[in-house]
Every structure is written in C-alpha cells, then in structure tokens.
C-alpha cells in the first residue's frame, strides 16, 4: 500500500517539498474556509468589509518589496549550482560563488530592514486616511488598533521574507514549506480562538504576531543560523552588483508586481469607497476562497523554482521542459476541479438556505454570475503564473509591457465599470481582460523560450 501511494505521488509529480507546501496550502485553504465561517459568525457584514479591505490595502507592500524576494531565490540557486555541500552548515568554497552568496545575503538584509521601516509608516498613514475618509458612519467599528498592529507585523514579516527566500535558494524548499505549514497552523488556531472570544478585528493581527515569531525562532535555534553566519563570513571579494545584475531584472518584475496590485487588489477598496463595506465584504470573502485555490494549485510550480533555475544554469532544457510541463498540467487540472467544488458548495449553501446562528452563510459571497466571472480568471491566472515563473527563472523579465497594459486596463475597468454597472460590470470587465492576457502571455512564452534556448 505504501509503495502504491509513493508510486501515485511520483506520477503526480509530488515530492517532499510539494507535500509540505500542499499541506500548508490545505491548512491555508481549509483554515480559510473555517475562518470564513468564523468571520460570518463573529463579525457583522460591515466589519467583514473592513476585514477584507485591510488585506487589500496591506498589499501595497508590493510597492516596497518590489519583487526582490523571488529574485533572491533565483540568484542564490544559480550560485549554489557551483558549490559542494559538506554538511548542513557549510560547503566547499568555490571562491567566486561563496563570495557572491555572502554579498547577496548582506545586501538583502540591509535592503529589507530599511524598506520595512518606510513600509510601517506608509501603511499606517494610508490606512488611517482611507478608513477615516470612506468609513464615515461606521463609528461603531473599532479598526484603529487592529490596523496599527497589522501594519507593524506586516513590516516585520517583510524582513523575514528574504531570509526564507535565501534558504529556499540553498535548496531548503521542503524545510521552508514545513515551517510555513506550522506557522499557518499556529496562526490559524490562535486567530479562531480570538474570534471565538470576540476579539473582532483584533483577532487576525494578534494571531499574526504569534505566526511571525515562529520564523526567527526556527532560524536562530537551529543549524540554519550557523549556515547563514558561515555564508555571511565568506570573503567579500566577488560581489553582486545591484545596479548591473539585480536592478535590470528587478525593475521589470517590480512594475509587473505593481501592475498586479491593480489587477488583483483594487476590487475591495473601490467597492468599499463606492458601495460600502457590506459589498466589499462579499467581494473579499469570494476572493479569499478563490485565491486559496490559486495558491494551493500553484504549489506544484512554485516549489520547483530552485530546480528550474538550476536546470537553466546547466542548460538542461529538455529536463526543464519535462518538469515544468508535468507540473503545469497536473496543477491546472486540480485548479479546475477545486473551483467546481467551491461553486457547488456555495450553490448548496444557498439552495438549502444553510444558516449559521440565524445568518445565511451563502449571502456573504457574490451572486452566481459575478462569482463565475471571478472564477474564469483564476484558471487563466494559474496558467499565466506558471508561464511567468518559468520565464523569470531565466533571470529575465519579458512580461513587463504586458503586465503594465493589463494592470492599466484592469484599473480602468474596475473603477469605470464598477462605478457605472456595479459588481457585475466590474467582474465582467475583469474576466474579459484576463482572458485576453492569457493568449497574449502564451505568445510571449513560446517566443521567449524558443529564442533563449537557442542562444
């Protein structure tokens, strides 16, 4: 039986890293579903709007992080291809590669500490201006303390993210996935407990503090601290030149990610400002479920970024394409199946009028047509993200112009169609734009792959 399970896992492309990442996504998705129930039960519809709009505004950290974490993983993986490990805390030093690793570690830590300081200030000010302006008439909602805590912890998590990205590049994908799963479990458990004890909007911020503390403890009280110190102490002879190596790649990814904010995160703030927190809460809960599906199924691809980067560095393109194609097909099938399950579940909740403490749980989601209009882009974005990940592992960013155009179109569509036609106009415009983006991305993917692999 065990051998059959292992054989099935191999046929599905499941390795140790994927197992823990999937478990983490299961906790995130399953926990997200449980959280939805707690949100619907312990928060009012107005508070639900604040709850999900918090997340959309917190996403402005993209403007500060600028895609550097993903770049770190890829740069580290390229250097690791030239090293031979001795044990968990050291490796035989290829002078150039070890020196460049040390340079990367020093640079990223300094960068993120500075950026986190400005992020804290930016989040607190932005949140206060937005909610004070558009939250008039909701004086019974106590959001101020929750927002300040979220802003601070988000900035602390930003400092931890490059360290985890660095360790992933060193090949610790499985270990990182495992600790993220544990982090998700702890954070979820505390959050649900606090919801139960009626901490309202403070529940998630306080739970996030506990979740954050797990990461530094996991690094400090283990061999990972020794490994990072070992790398830090390598001779700083061959340095990574930020302006010549990282910046030409980063600014393109940064613009793509900023465009992504306008594609994925603008719905809730716009609805909060134009139609109020109740409608924003429906959109937020819908997006939360759909994004959980997207993140879960993308695990088949994102966990293989170090492997993709190493195969590219070795110019083993046949193995690269086989690994990627299998991961994309497997994850896409799961994506569609998961969306069907979600839609069926929501339908059953509404059809049988399932209530929770007298509240109709189905009413907390978007109506069927807008819901379908949001599901189609999830399938498209899954495939688009897979192709984009493949291309970016080449340390290039060919998606810049496309991302900017799609971001601008989504921004205009969300604001203009949303204002005139409401949620239905907003979601239909979004779906059409993302379908167009799918075909555009495919042409970029095929052209770049053919060109780069023949260089």
Q: pLDDT class for 339, splitting at 50, 70, 90? A: very high
Strand partners for 359: 356
Own/partner pairs, 188-196, CB within 8 angstroms, 24+ separation: 188/27, 188/31, 188/34, 188/35, 191/35, 191/38, 192/31, 192/34, 192/35, 192/38, 195/35, 195/38, 195/39, 195/41, 195/42, 195/43, 196/38, 196/42
306 closest CA partner among 179, 398, 170, 102: 170
Mean pLDDT of 319-347: 94
443 pLDDT above the threshold of 80: yes
pLDDT (0 to 100) of residue 382: 97
Q: Please, which residues have CB within 8 angstroms of residue 418's CB and are 6 or more apart in sequence? A: 267, 270, 271, 274, 425, 426
CA 211 to chain centroid: 16
Query: Which tokens is 313 given?
Result: 């560095």
Residue 201 dihedral angles phi and psi, to the nearest 5°:
-70, -15
> pLDDT digits over 236-259, tens only?
777 787 788 888 878 877 887 788
- Give Cα separations from 135 to 55, 141, 142, 188, 417 (angstroms): 16, 9, 11, 28, 22
120-124, 187-191, 247-251, 436-440: lowest mean pLDDT where?
Answer: 247-251
Name the residue with tokens 């606090």.
194
Specify the pairing of strand 90-92 against strand 355-356.
unpaired
Mean pLDDT of 425-451: 96
pLDDT (0 to 100) of residue 193: 96
> What's the CA angle centered on 448, arms 387 and 170, to 5 degrees?
60
Mean pLDDT of 289-311: 87
Name the residue with tokens 């090949």.
171
pLDDT (0 to 100) of residue 86: 67
Specify the pairing of strand 90-92 against strand 359-360.
unpaired
Looking at every residue in the chain, the average pLDDT score rounds to: 86
pLDDT (0 to 100) of residue 309: 87
| Structural domain boundaries in the chain | 2-452
pLDDT (0 to 100) of residue 191: 95
Mean pLDDT of 1-7: 51
Mean pLDDT of 295-303: 86
CB 306 within 8 A of CB 173: yes
Mean pLDDT of 338-347: 93
Mean pLDDT of 411-429: 92
57-71, 87-101, 190-204, 278-292: lowest mean pLDDT where?
Answer: 87-101
pLDDT (0 to 100) of residue 403: 85
CB 389 within 8 A of CB 70: no
Distance CA 41, CA 354 (A): 13
7 pLDDT above the threshold of 70: no
For the beta carbon of residue 235, count every other beta carbon within 10 angstroms.
10
pLDDT (0 to 100) of residue 276: 86
pLDDT (0 to 100) of residue 424: 92
CA 98 to chain centroid: 29
Q: What is the dihedral of CA 297, 299, 302, 303, to 10 degrees?
A: -160
Name the residue with tokens 């495939």.
383
pLDDT (0 to 100) of residue 54: 93
Angle between the 16-42 and 45-58 helix axes, to the nearest 10 degrees?
Answer: 140
348 pLDDT above the threshold of 50: yes
**Residue 364 DSSP symbol:** G
Own/partner pairs, 318-326, CB within 8 angstroms, 24+ separation: 324/386, 324/390, 326/13
pLDDT (0 to 100) of residue 93: 65
pLDDT (0 to 100) of residue 25: 66
Q: pLDDT class for 206, splitting at 50, 70, 90? A: very high
CB 325 within 8 A of CB 65: no
Q: Which of 35-39, 260-264, 354-358 has the highest mean pLDDT?
A: 35-39
Mean pLDDT of 380-391: 96
Q: Which residue has the higher pLDDT, 190 or 265?
A: 190
What sign for the dihedral angle of Cα 242, 97, 80, 227?
negative
């Amino acid at each position: 039986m065990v051998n059959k399970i292992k054989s099935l896992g191999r046929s599905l492309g499941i390795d140790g890293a994927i197992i823990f990442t999937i478990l983490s996504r299961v906790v995130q998705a399953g926990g997200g579903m449980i959280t939805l129930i707690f949100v619907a039960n312990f928060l009012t519809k107005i508070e639900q709007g604040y709850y999900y709009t918090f997340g959309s505004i917190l996403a402005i950290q993209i403007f500060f992080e600028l895609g550097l974490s993903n770049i770190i993983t890829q740069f580290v993986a390229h250097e690791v291809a030239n090293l031979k490990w001795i044990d968990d805390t050291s490796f035989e030093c290829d002078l150039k590669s070890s020196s460049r690793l040390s340079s990367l570690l020093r640079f990223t830590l300094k960068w993120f500490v500075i950026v986190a300081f400005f992020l804290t200030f930016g989040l607190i000010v932005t949140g206060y201006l937005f909610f004070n302006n558009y939250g008039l008439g909701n004086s019974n909602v106590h959001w101020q303390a929750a927002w300040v805590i979220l802003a601070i912890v988000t900035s602390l998590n930003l400092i931890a993210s490059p360290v985890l990205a660095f360790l992933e590049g060193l090949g610790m994908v499985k270990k990182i996935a495992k600790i993220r799963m544990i982090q998700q479990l702890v954070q979820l458990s505390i959050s649900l407990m606090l919801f139960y004890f009626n901490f309202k909007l403070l529940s998630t911020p306080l739970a996030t503090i506990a979740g954050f503390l797990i990461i530094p403890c996991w690094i400090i009280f283990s061999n990972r601290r020794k490994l990072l110190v070992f790398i830090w102490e390598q001779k700083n002879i061959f340095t990574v030149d930020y302006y010549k190596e990282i910046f030409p790649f980063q600014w393109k990814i940064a613009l793509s990610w900023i465009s992504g904010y306008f594609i994925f995160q603008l719905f809730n703030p716009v609805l909060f400002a134009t139609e109020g927190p109740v409608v924003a809460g429906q959109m937020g809960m819908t997006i939360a479920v759909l994004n959980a599906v997207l993140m879960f199924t993308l695990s088949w691809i994102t966990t293989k970024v170090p492997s993709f980067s190493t195969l590219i560095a070795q110019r083993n393109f046949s193995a690269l394409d086989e690994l990627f194609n299998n991961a994309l097909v497997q994850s896409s099938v799961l994506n569609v199946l998961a969306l069907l399950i979600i839609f069926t579940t929501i339908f059953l909740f509404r059809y049988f009028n399932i209530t929770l403490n007298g509240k109709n749980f189905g009413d907390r989601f978007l109506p069927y047509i807008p819901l379908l209009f949001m599901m189609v882009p999830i399938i498209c974005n899954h495939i688009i993200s897979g192709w984009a990940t493949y291309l970016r592992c080449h340390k290039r960013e060919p998606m810049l112009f496309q991302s900017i155009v799609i971001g601008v179109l989504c921004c205009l569509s969300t604001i203009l169609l949303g204002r005139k036609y409401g949620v239905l106009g907003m979601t239909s415009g979004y779906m059409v734009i993302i379908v167009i983006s799918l075909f555009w991305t495919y042409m970029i993917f095929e052209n770049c792959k053919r060109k780069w692999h023949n260089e």
